[in-house]
Amino acid sequence: MKDEAQHMINQEEHNKEMALTEKAQLKYQKLSFVMSALSAVIMAVILIIVIGLASYIVPKVDTIYNSTMKSLNNLEALTTELNEAHLSETINNINNLTLNATGDLSKAMSKLNSIDLETLNQSIQDLHDIIEPMAKLFKVVR
């Protein structure tokens, strides 16, 4: 009987240990469930934030991309126009026109400088002296 009593005591101790182990496992399972639920909520919040940021940033990036492409297309068109403009030829033509105009202006200035202003003034005075008596004759001058 002693063996049987010892066996019963051992069985009860074993059952108590099992009950404590089961309690600890249940506690850890509850903690694990809470942590899993908390992780799910945090992941959902992060997902909402990422979707919100993406919906905010994507249109802005698209606008910037479109503006950049327009600028690049305009720059390409401008480059093409500049290549077709033959700037060196245009500059040479402008230079030649400037030189011709300078030469013509020099000729005109030399002709103006060659005019004898004193003789011209004298001729105008002589013409005035001739016309004045005729004007008085016809009463044009008052």
In tens, the pLDDT along 97-120 reads: 898 888 888 888 888 778 778 888
Length of the chain: 142
pLDDT at residue 141 greater than cutoff 60: no
What are the C-alpha distances in Å from 132 to residues 118, 120, 128?
21, 18, 6
Which of residues 140 and 45 earns the better pLDDT score?
45
Digit-coded pLDDT (tens) for 29-44 = 999 999 999 999 999 9
pTM value surpassing 0.85: no
The answer to whether 132 and 141 are in contact (CB under 8 A) is yes
Q: Which two tokens stand for residue 36?
A: 């899993």
Residues in Cβ contact with 135 at an 8 Å cutoff, skipping those fewer than 6 apart: 141
Distance CA(32)–CA(108), nearest Å, equals 105
Mean pLDDT computed over every residue of the chain: 87
**For range 127-136, the mean pLDDT:** 84
Whose tokens are 């068109």? That residue is: 77
The answer to whether 133 and 127 are in contact (CB under 8 A) is no
